[in-house]
């Protein structure tokens, strides 16, 4: 019988404690223990990015991250993005047509969110590099890139106005 270990983490602002074996990935705990199925499993070598979540604000491929290493830390999944500036991104993805099948979308939004936190006004090239860890087979990326640039503009607006006043 494999030993089990307690894992306490904050997910989308809520505290959770579960007891798991050490081999479990963060993704499997989020999906199977917490019922947060927004993050997806698309590959097994950290190439597709569908599983991406934020760990203490940094993007991480949850499929290849040991859940126990998230102990005491804060996780944000796509389900928690709408609570913050992620909502602007979500709306931009919809209006720009950046969503087709939607399977890459949660990871894409997480990467986009992390990018805009680091670089609020990215160039197109920075957006493309920032999303390089998230594969999309439907869109050809063009409308996703447009959505991120559009969201960056929207998020910049209030600050600009404050600066002007």
Q: What is the 3-state secondary structure (H, E, C) of 73-133?
A: CEEECHHHHCCCCHHHHHHHHHHHCCCCCCCCHHHHHHHHHHHHHHCCCCCHHHHHHHCCC
Site track 50-89 with another protein (rule: CB under 8 A), x = hit: x-x-----xxxx-xxxx-xx-x-----xxx-xx-------
Q: Is 151 in the site for another protein (CB under 8 A)?
A: no
Distance CA 40, CA 49 (A): 9
Q: Judged by CB under 8 A, which of 11, 29, 75, 104 binds another protein?
A: 104
Least distance in angstroms from the C-beta of 1 to another protein = 8
Distance CA 26, CA 76 (A): 12
Q: Give the nearer residue to another protein in terms of CB position, either 83 or 159.
A: 83
Q: Is 135 in the site for another protein (CB under 8 A)?
A: yes
With CB under 8 A as the rule, give the number of residues binding another protein.
79
Touching another protein, residues 114-133 (CB under 8 A): 114-115, 127-133
């Amino acid at each position: 019988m494999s030993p089990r270990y307690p894992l306490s983490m904050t997910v989308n602002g809520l505290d959770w404690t579960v007891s798991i074996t050490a081999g479990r990935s963060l993704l499997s705990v989020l999906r199977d223990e917490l019922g947060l199925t927004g993050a997806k499993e698309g590959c097994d070598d950290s190439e597709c990015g569908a599983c991406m979540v934020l760990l203490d604000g940094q993007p991480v491929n949850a499929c290849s991250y040991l859940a126990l290493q998230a102990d005491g830390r804060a996780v944000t999944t796509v389900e928690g993005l709408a609570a913050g500036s992620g909502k602007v991104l979500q709306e931009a993805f919809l209006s720009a047509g950046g969503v087709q099948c939607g399977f890459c979308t949660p990871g894409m939004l997480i990467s986009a969110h992390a990018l805009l936190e680091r670089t609020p006004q990215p160039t197109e090239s920075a957006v493309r590099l920032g999303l390089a860890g998230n594969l999309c087979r439907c869109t050809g990326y063009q409308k996703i890139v447009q959505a991120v640039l559009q969201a960056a503009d929207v998020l910049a607006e209030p600050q600009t106005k404050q600066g002007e006043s």
